[in-house]
Amino acid sequence: MSDSTARLPEPTRLGRTALTVTDRVTTSEFYRDVVGLEILHREPSTTVLGVDETPLLELRGDETADARPRAEAGLYHNAFRLPTRGALGDALVRVRDGWTLDGASDHGVSEALYLTDPEGNGVELYRDRDRADWPHSADGGLRIGSEPLDLEALGADAGGESADAAPPGTTVGHIHLEVTSIDAARTFYAELLGFDVTMATPTALFLAAGGYHHHIGANTWNGRSTPASDDTRGLAWFEVVVPADDALESIRTRLENGGASVTETDDGLEVTDPDGNSVRLVSVP
């Protein structure tokens, strides 16, 4: 799409994500003690966590939940963006003290730590470099690399005020999905929702609004061949936040013209992507 009215407005961002879990207590403790989120409130079947009174993550399930482990398409990882390198260094300390680090990468645009929650969901903790320092390819496109991260240097920046918890300014920076088809994901997230493609390979796709490196990632690395199912653990839904009601209506029009089934919710719209992932669209000025 070349028409700028068919693109998401620049302030578009991600809001909350929700996970279906079977052990809400243990999983809540992980996101509190390791990721550094605060437990904001608990309900009989939902625990809400966030930072500075802002909800970022909902854990859904109760003691009778019997959701099976996921083998289909769905969540690859939730990515929590920290506001400073020092905050990421503090997160590294928390991971080393209480969990297992799966990996760490310097992506050029960002520095990232990777781990897995108690229910098998991927988690990324990262901080962005300044946009002026993001690397680009010879044709001007954004280049998201994957080099080893210097953990010794990162750990040397730890010891700040965020040592025990993620600081104010922490957000859900992006979400990464396992999909069955890169082409179908491109059609839905770029052509219908209106994200820009920032980088693409035969097995991975990165999309964003407002010149960000990516709000949505999609890959076929594990060969998932079946869409997500409602009876599995993992991603229940995630939220895309746009800055105005007219932007929400433009999205609705594109989705409906593209044949997608759109449902109205109390605070916006909900639609399911080609792999069964629920996307909630809300407007927040």
**Polymer length in residues for the chain:** 285
Could you tell me which residues come within 8 angstroms of residue 70 by beta carbon, excluding any fewer than 6 positions away? 120, 228, 229, 232, 233, 234
- The DSSP 8-state label assigned to residue 136 in this structure reads B
CA 97 – CA 91 distance, rounded (Å): 10
So where are the chain's domains? 4-283
pLDDT in tens, 160-179: 666 889 999 999 999 999 99
Query: Among positive and negative, which fits the CA dihedral 242, 18, 230, 214?
Result: positive
Q: What local confidence, expressed as pLDDT, does residue 2 receive?
A: 41
pLDDT in tens, 227-255: 988 888 899 999 999 998 899 999 999 99
pLDDT in tens, 68-82: 788 899 999 999 999
Per CATH, is 4-283 categorized as 3.10.180.10? yes
Residue 67 has pLDDT above 90, yes or no: no
**Are 19 and 235 contacting, i.e. CB atoms less than 8 angstroms apart?**
yes
pLDDT band with cut points at 50, 70 and 90 for residue 64: low
Q: The whole model's pTM is what? A: 0.95
pLDDT band with cut points at 50, 70 and 90 for residue 4: low
Backbone angles phi, psi at 104, to 5 degrees: -155, 135
CA 72 – CA 282 distance, rounded (Å): 27
% of the chain residues with pLDDT over 70: 95
Residue 1 has pLDDT above 80, yes or no: no
